[in-house]
């Protein structure tokens, strides 16, 4: 079971929503890898918020909602060893679909 982890209650800063779909045979492995990425990112001081969740109606649809101090911090994450090894090297090859959206909060 995956628990939600929060550094603070309200996401802010540079916000990203990533949506992936996985084949059922890859889902558990993908969730374990994403949980590992989440744990590493929550140790990153520039990461404000990071949460992995899946759709109750469609469990193979996985969402990652994350917030960084700014775009520079997000780009540092994308250049990190754990992103390159875990996300690009293992998770992305297992995805059936992937979509990344930059969000802007209402003020």
What integer pLDDT is reported at residue 89 of this predicted model? 97
Are the beta carbons of 91 and 33 closer than 8 angstroms? yes
- Residue pLDDT, tens place only, 14-64: 999 999 999 999 999 999 999 999 999 888 888 999 999 999 999 999 999
Q: What is the pTM of this model?
A: 0.82
pLDDT band at residue 2, thresholds of 50, 70 and 90? very low
Are the beta carbons of 67 and 14 closer than 8 angstroms? yes
Which of these ranges, 4-8, 9-13, 54-58, 87-91, has the smallest mean pLDDT?
A: 4-8
- The average confidence (pLDDT) of the chain is 89
Assess whether pLDDT exceeds 90 at residue 10: no
Assess whether pLDDT exceeds 70 at residue 4: no
How far is the C-alpha of 82 from the C-alpha of 87, rounded, in Å? Answer: 7
Query: For the domain with range 14-103, which CATH number is right: 3.30.70.100, 3.30.450.40, 3.30.565.10, 3.40.190.10?
Result: 3.30.70.100
How far is the C-alpha of 69 from the C-alpha of 60, rounded, in Å? Answer: 30
Nearest Cα to 34, choosing from 59, 2, 6? Answer: 2
Q: Domain coordinates of the chain in residue numbers? A: 14-103
How far is the C-alpha of 72 from the C-alpha of 79, rounded, in Å? Answer: 11
How far is the C-alpha of 56 from the C-alpha of 72, rounded, in Å? Answer: 33
Residue 61 neighbours by CB distance under 10 Å: 17
Report phi then psi at 15, rounded to 5.
Answer: -110, 135
Q: Over range 5-22, report the average pLDDT.
A: 76
């Amino acid at each position: 079971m995956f628990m939600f982890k929060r550094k603070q209650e309200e996401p802010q800063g540079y916000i990203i929503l990533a949506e992936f779909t996985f084949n059922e045979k890859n889902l558990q492995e993908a969730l374990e890898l994403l949980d590992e990425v989440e744990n590493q990112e929550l140790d990153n001081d520039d990461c404000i918020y990071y949460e992995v969740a899946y759709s109750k109606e469609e469990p193979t649809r996985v969402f990652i909602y994350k917030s960084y101090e700014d775009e520079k911090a997000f780009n540092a994450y994308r250049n990190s060893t754990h992103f390159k090894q875990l996300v690009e090297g293992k998770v992305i090859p297992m995805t059936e679909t992937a979509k990344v959206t930059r969000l802007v909060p209402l003020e």
